[in-house]
Chain A
Amino acid sequence: MELGSLQRRYIDFTSALFREGFLDNQYTQLQQLQDESNPEFVLEVVTLFFEDSEKLLDELSRTLDQQVVDYKKVDAHVHQLKGSSASIGAQRVKNVCMAFRNCCEERNQEGCLRCLQQVRQEYFLVKSKLETLFRLEKQILAAGGSVPVLW
């Protein structure tokens, strides 16, 4: 694909991510911290988020699968996931985590399982979107262009 259309595609795709609430301003903050001396900063942080989240989602499944659910533990994991999603601007994941914490407080196992399903869904959605974003950036750079700055 030629450079111009790659860049247009990037702009459209990114704008949609923000418009649809997948990402919020915190993601922009991270982009602003990336520069020539830290050219992969966003990718590095987002990769840490992926690793961390997948571990947490596994832990959450395990913890909610017990005969007697340790809600303190569930809440601690959700708190961590909420924190890291907020730190990278993954707004929809963060929002589900907030609802999830309410279910923990109510010791509502069914509610928690529903939230887990939802947070998993939102996580994999945003993961796939971010991977597309990074792929587009790579393609633009490979075509000798620069990634459009949307802020």
Chain B
Amino acid sequence: MSSPRGPKACGGGAADRPIHVLAVDDSSVDRAVIARLLRSSKYRVTTVDSGKKALELLGLEPNVNMIITDYWMPEMTGYELLKIVKESSELREIPVVIMSSENVPNRINRCLEEGAEDFLLKPVRPSDVARLCNRMR
């Protein structure tokens, strides 16, 4: 169902399979928001609350087309998760986007240097998701 005011649907993958995004955030509020944002752009979304759970899921199901993760999480930061993904031969091709509520240039640069696809400032908005969508195509 199309909505004139809604973000454009861009979750259609190569074979018209929806792009599957893994969203990682320890905040239940932010998980709910990012999931809704992504789903309203027709992405298929799985949410987990830690880097550890993200890696478990990635180990089981390789059909993840993008990872979007919060930076600041207890036990494993988004940066640490990014590093592990980029150092893994099976996972390194998956684009990783980092989200953070803090605008710290050093942090942003470090993540981009480590191979992050993009860095989003929270609260994430529909326009941010639209931007990602364009990058994915």
Residue positions of A touching B, CB distance < 8 A: 26, 29-30, 32-33, 35-38, 41, 44-45, 48-49, 51-52, 76, 79-80, 82-84, 86-89
Contact = CB atoms under 8 A, between A and B. Distances in A.
Contacts, number: 55
Interface of B: 1, 3, 5-6, 27-30, 32-33, 36-37, 40, 72, 74, 101, 122-123, 125-126
Task: Return the 10 tightest CB-CB contacts between A and B, nearest first.
Answer: A84-B29, A48-B28, A83-B101, A87-B123, A45-B32, A48-B29, A26-B123, A87-B29, A49-B29, A33-B36
Contact of B27 (A32, A76, A84): A84
A80 B97 CA distance: 20
A83 B122 contact: yes
7 contacts: A30-B33, A36-B1, A38-B36, A41-B36, A52-B28, A79-B72, A86-B123
A33 B72 CA distance: 25
A88 B123 CA distance: 8
A129 B39 CA distance: 29
A24 to B, nearest CB: 10
Contacts of B123: 26, 29, 86-87, 89
Contacts of A38: 36
Given A86-B101, A86-B123, A33 B37 contact: yes
A87 B33 contact: yes
Contacts of B125: 29
Nearest to A79: B72
A32 B5 contact: yes
| Interface hub of B3, B6, B101 (most chain A Cβ within 10 A) | B101
